[in-house]
Amino acid sequence: QGSRRFRGMGSVLARLRPTMAQVAPSADRNKDAIWEVLRSVLPPPRADAEVKLLEVATGTGQHAAHFAALRSDLLVQPTDVTLDMAASAAAYASQAGPEVQRRVLPLKRLDVLQPLGEDVRAIAPFDAAMCINMLHISPPECGEKLFAIVAEALQPGGLLLTYGPYRLDGFLVQSNIDFENNFLKQKDERFSIREVRELEQLAGAHGFTLEAIHDMPANNKSLIWRFRGGAGHMAAAE
């Protein structure tokens, strides 16, 4: 299916392990830096409940297992546009041990261009969501649809972390210009590095406010979007 091209991990898998845990080299490189940002904005531990994290565009499952291993009360729901990486995501969770395996749920299907599935709604509301390396390697409409669908899954006051390369007030470093022209546009003319200010407008229509911009290694950024609540959350609750 054509939509399979829009997976968010953004790199070619380097090898296939006997355990079925496939490797996206960029995920190994960025997982610790992303965690440092995410851990700083997740809600504090609660005595009566786990902190629930929704991952959109999971890819191999490296981030989900790694983050769950670093916080003992974190419950992660990985999702992707297909279930092709279900075995890989499960393998990473298994490798991390039985406690992490319990808290990394099986991969579920989530296509931002389609309604939120009942199997994901059943676990909502989530405290936080993350989407790593998807927005620049997907059609433009996926930007607004990401905010729309996450708004249905988050509780008010929750947050969305998006990670990847971004334009900011029109500025883009030369290495990312080259990446856009020589890689993204060669894959699909619609793919492009998104402008943060344009994303702010799309996010605002679905109840999100840009709370922070974190500079990351390799000319990437982590954006923290705070969800104030709105129509999407009400629809999910009905």
User: pLDDT tens digits, residue range 154-201?
Assistant: 999 999 999 999 999 999 999 999 999 999 999 999 999 999 999 999
Give the total residue count for the chain: 238
Return the exposure string of 196-228: e unless at least 16 CB atoms fall within 10 Å of the residue's CB, then b. beebeebbeebbbeeeeebebeeebbbbbbbbe
Q: Is the pLDDT of residue 14 over 80?
A: no
6-20, 38-52, 86-100, 198-212: range with lowest mean pLDDT = 6-20
* Average pLDDT, integer, range 61-66: 98
Model pLDDT, residue 229: 87
Percent of the chain with pLDDT over 70: 89
The tokens describing 21, both together, are: 């845990």
**With contact defined as beta carbons under 8 Å apart, do 88 and 21 qualify?**
yes
Model-wide pTM > 0.85: yes
Model pLDDT, residue 6: 44
Contacts of 201 (CB under 8 A, 6+ apart): none
Query: What is the H or E stretch that residue 90 is in?
Result: helix 86-95
